[in-house]
Amino acid sequence: MQPALSRISLSFLTGKNGIMITRDDAISMLGTYVTRENLFNHCLSTAAIMKNTAEYLNQDAEKWEIIGILHDIDYELIDGDMARHGTEGYRILLEEGVDEDIAEIVKRHNDFIYGNSDTPADRALQAADNISGLIIAAALMKGGRITDVTAKTIRKKFKEKSFAAGCRREQVALIEPLIELPVYFEIAIGALVDIRERLGLS
Ligand SMILES: [Fe+2]
């Protein structure tokens, strides 16, 4: 029989069916499947917004950040076959021994296949995945100075559907039962300011 202390430590390290990996583990895992810098930075941006959103909502910030890092891990592998997006990510993450809760959220973030789920983490992932590109586009419009981007800028650009047209506004709005949009925009901008050097912004 194991000493009680080992059993307790183990329970912190393992999730439902796999290992609760660290942020650094997740980033190096992503690096083995994703080589395009834009995609890598998109994953880090989504993760930073997930982390700050979780902190605001008193949720598990470490776990939400890892979900953000890993959510598009299959994107290069699927090579445009969006019917496989998420499903392949789920397979990869289980093979890598990642906790099944995380793998499932990654899988069903392909809402074209799985529809929208209403857990806070699912809503936050949809919102972060979509708002990140719009905020970065707004920063580029200001000469790369993300510190000049305000919630007012984002409110205006959010209404202008042709701006950063890839940002699916209705998916961002899924956060609304949890956080009002103007507050969410502040949180998301702050998260990208935190990692601005990594994103090549100032
Ligand atoms: Fe994404």
Separation of alpha carbons 59 and 122, rounded Å: 12
Query: What does the pLDDT read at residue 16?
Result: 55
> What pLDDT, on the 0 to 100 scale, is given for residue 68?
98
Tell me the per-residue pLDDT of 101-134, one tens digit each, with 9 for 90 and over.
999 999 999 999 999 999 999 999 999 999 999 9
> What CATH number labels 14-194?
1.10.3210
Query: Could you report how far apart the first and last alpha carbons of the chain are, in Å?
Result: 55
pTM: 0.91
**Average of per-residue pLDDT values in the chain:** 92
Q: Which residues pair with 19 in a beta bridge?
A: 14, 98
What mean pLDDT comes out for the span 128-152? 97
The pLDDT of residue 18 is: 62
Residue-range domain boundaries for the chain: 14-194
The number of residues in the chain equals 202
Say if residues 166 and 133 touch (Cβ distance below 8 Å). Answer: yes
Q: How far is the CA of 129 from the centre of ligand 1 (A)?
A: 5
What's the CA-to-centroid distance between 45 and ligand 1, angstroms? 9
Has residue 141 got a pLDDT over 50?
yes
The alpha carbon of 75 is separated from its chain's Cα centroid by a whole number of angstroms, namely 14
Could you tell me the pLDDT band of residue 9, with boundaries at 50, 70 and 90? very low
46 CA from centroid of ligand 1 (Å): 7
